[in-house]
Amino acid sequence: MTGDRDIKMGDKIPLNDLRRQHETIMVELKAAFDDILEQSCFLKGKPLKEFEAAFAKYCSSSFAVGVSNGTCALELALEACGIGEGDEVILPAHTFVATAEAVRTVGAKVRFADVDEKTYLVTVDTIKHVMTAKTKAILCVHLHGQMCDVEKISEFAKKNDLIFIEDAAQAHGARFGKYGPGQLSDAAAFSFYPGKNLGALGDAGIVVTSDEKIAKKVRQLADHGRASGSKYEHAISGYNKRIDTLQARFLSVKLPYLDMWTEKRQAIARRYDESLKGCVTTPYCDPKAYHVYHHYIILADRRDELCEHLDKDGISWGRHYPIPVHKQPSFSGSAASVVSLPITESIVSKSLTLPLFPEMTDDEVQRVIDSVRSFYDN
């Protein structure tokens, strides 16, 4: 938390404020832009290789392949792992729609699982409940900054000969036990959407894996299926899903700050936890999880009235995610929509996202706390 920024008490508190983050590293970001402009190396090249190597090391993984965005990272990970037409993939409906879109894009069938009532994440038990003879893969989502129990899911996947892929779009720096995304799975897909804990200044994503064959396939698919070392020989049918070098360079500037930003998020979350218990249901953190708090989600009685109260007090709020994917119009009428997910639907009926970002001031955090408490005290 910061305490020296000139924030007026009447200013509305945002859910996130990237301007504040970028102010602190503006000189480095501008230097990165100037460097790429001077080199005129806008695709591939040394800056991209440097970022991929740095992020792979950060994730304690062998390979990282930069791609155009997080959705493409999921699509490429699925395809590189051999998921395709007719294969069934288990995933939660309590997620951003991109997780399910990626499964559909590669021609596979979506099979929605419910989530744990405390962590809001899929578990081996919820996966078992919907698994069929056609199930080919598990696509778990590390939601709001907390990882699923990858130890148990990985073991279950191996016993049942299933591909295991992680949607780590909200889990930069997160761990479960001693494992981060990509260490126990076939591959993990990250998003660097600007609002993520590690965000680009545009769209970007990356696939992390310890399997060299998967890494090579992702890279080839993302670059028009080019044969290694050849510009105009295309070994397979691929796509244009490359990351641009400018975004890789910006991410290289930001990566060294990620752990510090995470610690600030955790400090704010602890303060919310301590002050809001008894008023609302605060996020549950598994004892083995290292939660990075991409979002701070509460479950609130009279949620919609609380939202109106926060509006009056000049406090932004969000809902992640108000419509579970199986209820989305784009899935209406599909076999995937015919499913009972009582815990998912209960969560979305009460969930509310409070402001949380590393540059929040102490006064802003206290304003949020006071507003929520005053609503329930009256």
Provide DSSP, 295-345: SEEEE-TTHHHHHHHHHHTTB--B-S-SS-GGGSGGGTTSGGGS---HHHH
Q: Residue 359 burial by CB count (10 A; 0-12/13-18/19+): exposed, middle or buried? A: buried
Residue 326 phi, psi (nearest 5)? -70, -15
What is the reported pLDDT for 232?
86
Say how far apart CA 370 and CA 134 lie, in whole Å.
Answer: 51
**CA dihedral sign of residues 34, 38, 43, 45:** negative
Residue pair 205/67 in contact by the 8 Å Cβ criterion: yes
Say how far apart CA 259 and CA 266 lie, in whole Å.
Answer: 10
Helix (H) or strand (E) holding 67: strand 63-67
DSSP letters along 101-168, please? Answer: HHHHHTTPEEEEE---TTT-S--HHHHHHH--TTEEEEEEE--TT----HHHHHHHHHHTT-EEEEE-
What is the reported pLDDT for 78?
99
What is the reported pLDDT for 338?
78
By C-alpha distance, which of 318, 310, 307, 308 is closest to 364? 310
What is the reported pLDDT for 141?
99
What DSSP state is assigned to residue 279?
Answer: T
Residue pair 181/59 in contact by the 8 Å Cβ criterion: yes
What is the reported pLDDT for 254?
99
pTM, full prediction: 0.95
Q: What is the pLDDT along the chain (378 residues), one digit of tens a residue?
A: 444 444 455 689 999 999 999 999 999 999 999 999 998 887 888 999 999 999 999 999 999 999 999 999 999 999 999 999 999 999 999 999 999 999 999 999 999 999 999 999 999 999 999 999 999 999 999 999 999 999 999 999 999 999 999 999 999 999 999 999 999 999 999 999 999 999 999 999 999 999 999 999 999 999 998 887 778 888 889 999 999 999 999 999 999 999 999 999 999 999 999 999 999 999 999 999 999 999 999 999 999 999 999 999 999 999 999 999 999 999 988 877 778 999 999 999 999 999 999 999 999 999 999 999 999 997
Say how far apart CA 126 and CA 67 lie, in whole Å.
Answer: 31
What is the reported pLDDT for 10?
61
Q: Which domains does the chain have, with CATH numbers?
A: 24-256 (3.40.640.10), 257-377 (3.90.1150.10)
295 alpha-carbon distance from chain centroid? 10
What is the reported pLDDT for 1?
44
What is the reported pLDDT for 326?
96
What is the reported pLDDT for 9?
52
Residue 315 phi, psi (nearest 5)? -125, 125
- Give me 344's structure tokens: 């998912």
How many DSSP H helices and E strands does the chain contain? 13, 11
